[in-house]
Structure 1
Amino acid sequence: MLIAMLVAQALAIPNDTPGHRAMQATICSGDTAKVQALALDLAGTGDPEGFIGLGWLEETAIPSVPTRAYAYYLTAAQRGSLRAQWKVGVMLDTGLGVPADSKAAAHWLRKAARQNLGAAWSSLGLLRQFGRGVPRDRVGARRAYFNAIRHGEPHGFAGIGSLYSSRSGRSEDYLRAVAWYRVAANHGDKIAREKLAVLPVLFPGEERDVSARATKIQRNHPITVAWDDGPCAPIP
């Protein structure tokens, strides 16, 4: 799906063009016929948002056609769309609609990350954390996740939580992980919410510890540009 812009305050929004705003509003209307008409119009003028819209239609069709979606996203990526570059990177890494190629995925993710797309930084952090397409590098992964947070991607918080949860069996690392997951969930991150839903209930002392840590994290790392890969409206 497209990355929907929710809030813009302090930092510049990557690729915030009239074409993107028009396409996003049309997608959020739920009218696929209008999405198709606008996408064809924009694509006809060479606007990458048109190819993104066509890719979105193929990806969300029933049944979906990921190979066609990938082709449209790749065209948009080649025309400079940061969102499409991120999407192509994710599809290459997961093998959705195209043979899996994590090295190629890292190439596209770097292109978008270098232009400050938070989602690309988050996905690049994942590759670095697990050594997919790039050398395994926990320090580099941590840096990428913090860059994701800085550029408005809540999943960066979940990435930091994942680094803590996989570091050792120490209870302190576990509580740190829960605090970072909780901040991510508070910002609407679905994966963090799913992780928290299956964790055991904390003891009162642990709950106080996690709450204090989460408050400190939110204070020290405020999100000033918020993006969400999916819903057209902020999650309450």
Structure 2
Amino acid sequence: MDDKVKAGLKHIPGGSALSLHSTRSSIIARGRRDAANAASNPYYRQAVTDYSTRNFTEAAASFRLAAEQGHAESQYLLSTMYDAGEGLPQDDVQAAHWERKAAEQGHAFAQANLSFRYYATGDYPEAFAWCQRAAYSNLAWAQYNLGLMYRKGEGVLQSDADAAYWYRLAAIQDFPEAQQKLADLYYIGHGVPLSYTQAAGWYRKAADQGNAEAQFQLGHLYAFGQGLEHDYTLSRHWTRQAALQGHEQAVGELKRREYRDP
């Protein structure tokens, strides 16, 4: 039940950052504070239209024109297109350049992606600094990453209490990985009071969203009656759900239970 501190930060891949159907990164439904201002730029509006019709080359050109005028949203989206090589040649240098331009203007997604870029090179202090800025903009994905960095002491003094604080902010926004990590802390009593009931509640929220680790741990709690009533049927159900996703411990547990299961 230990926190898997070896896990790295979450990153929104460049290839999906422009998906119009993504709840985390849609250029239409992101609900950013400057949405009205963003839409006022004619090059940006044209780029969105072109992207929606899969005219990626034209979209990239229009985003570039808006980006060169200092339009933060276009700078960010241009960076993701350079990352993915979508509508123009893949170019990490250009991606980082435009990402930083947007981040310096307070663009939360750009700040979080820039944080990940620094993290990948091992520059944890810079990664933490940019992640913190994005987290203060209430970006759940960044709040979760900040929790991970506090938990592992990367770029900041290690603090389970601060990790729990940031995990919770992301968890209440229904970020499943944060719900699972917060549950882990409640189970072992690190940074928060030990509480199997709280652990079970947060595991259930993450498990319902398909988090395999939470499903496995929820199965464990049902098996031992920790934080909820013992229920072998539900224990087997959640263990199987995790196993179906390839969770190694869950697969092993199901094999050990075969002699009891019909």
TM-score by length of 2: 0.59
How far did 1:163 drift? 3.2
Task: Select which of 34, 44, 48 maps to 2:104.
Answer: 44
8 Å CA contact 2:79, 2:96 repeated in 1: no
Task: Select which of 2, 9, 20 maps to 2:10.
Answer: 2
Q: Which has the larger radius of gyration?
A: 2
Q: Which has the larger strand fraction?
A: 1
Query: Paired residue for 1:58?
Result: 118
Residue 218 (structure 2) pairs with residue 160 (structure 1): yes
Structure 2 vs 1, CA of residues 14 and 102 (structure 1 numbering), >3 Å: closer, same or farther?
A: farther
Could you say what secondary structure the match of 1:205 adopts? coil
Query: Paired residue for 2:62?
Result: none
Could you say what secondary structure the match of 1:2 adopts? coil
Query: Paired residue for 1:87?
Result: 145
8 Å CA contact 1:73, 1:88 repeated in 2: yes
8 Å CA contact 1:59, 1:65 repeated in 2: yes
Name the CA distance, whole Å, in 1 between partners of 2:77 and 2:253: 38
Structure 2 vs 1, CA of residues 147 and 72 (structure 1 numbering), >3 Å: closer, same or farther?
A: same
Query: Paired residue for 1:221?
Result: none
Structure 2 vs 1, CA of residues 176 and 128 (structure 1 numbering), >3 Å: closer, same or farther?
A: same
Amino acid at match of 2:193: P
How far did 1:167 drift? 6.3
Matches within 5 A, 1:113-192: 113-163=171-221, 180-187=238-245, 192=247
5+ unaligned residues in a row in structure 1: which ranges? 210-236
Query: Paired residue for 1:205?
Result: 259
8 Å CA contact 1:23, 1:49 repeated in 2: no
- RMSD over aligned CA atoms reads 3.7
1:103-138 alpha-carbon deviations (Å, 9 max, x no partner): 111111121122222221111111111111111111
Structure 2 vs 1, CA of residues 65 and 21 (structure 1 numbering), >3 Å: closer, same or farther?
A: same
1:55-87 alpha-carbon deviations (Å, 9 max, x no partner): 1111112xx122221111111101221100011
Structure 2 vs 1, CA of residues 165 and 21 (structure 1 numbering), >3 Å: closer, same or farther?
A: farther
Query: Paired residue for 2:51?
Result: none
Query: Paired residue for 2:25?
Result: 16
Residue 133 (structure 2) pairs with residue 75 (structure 1): yes
1:119-163 alpha-carbon deviations (Å, 9 max, x no partner): 211111111111111111111111001111334533321331343
Could you say what secondary structure the match of 2:112 adopts? helix
Structure 2 vs 1, CA of residues 2 and 25 (structure 1 numbering), >3 Å: closer, same or farther?
A: farther
Structure 2 vs 1, CA of residues 160 and 27 (structure 1 numbering), >3 Å: closer, same or farther?
A: farther
Structure 2 vs 1, CA of residues 66 and 186 (structure 1 numbering), >3 Å: closer, same or farther?
A: farther
Name the CA distance, whole Å, in 2 between partners of 1:37 and 1:144: 39
Name the CA distance, whole Å, in 2 between partners of 1:131 and 1:60: 30
Residue 155 (structure 2) pairs with residue 97 (structure 1): yes
Amino acid at match of 2:102: L
Name the CA distance, whole Å, in 2 between partners of 1:34 and 1:152: 36
Name the CA distance, whole Å, in 2 between partners of 1:66 and 1:117: 23
Amino acid at match of 1:84: A
Name the CA distance, whole Å, in 2 between partners of 1:101 and 1:2: 19
Q: What is the identity percentage for the equivalent residue pairs of Structure 1 and Structure 2?
A: 22
For these two proteins, the number of residue pairs brought into alignment is 195
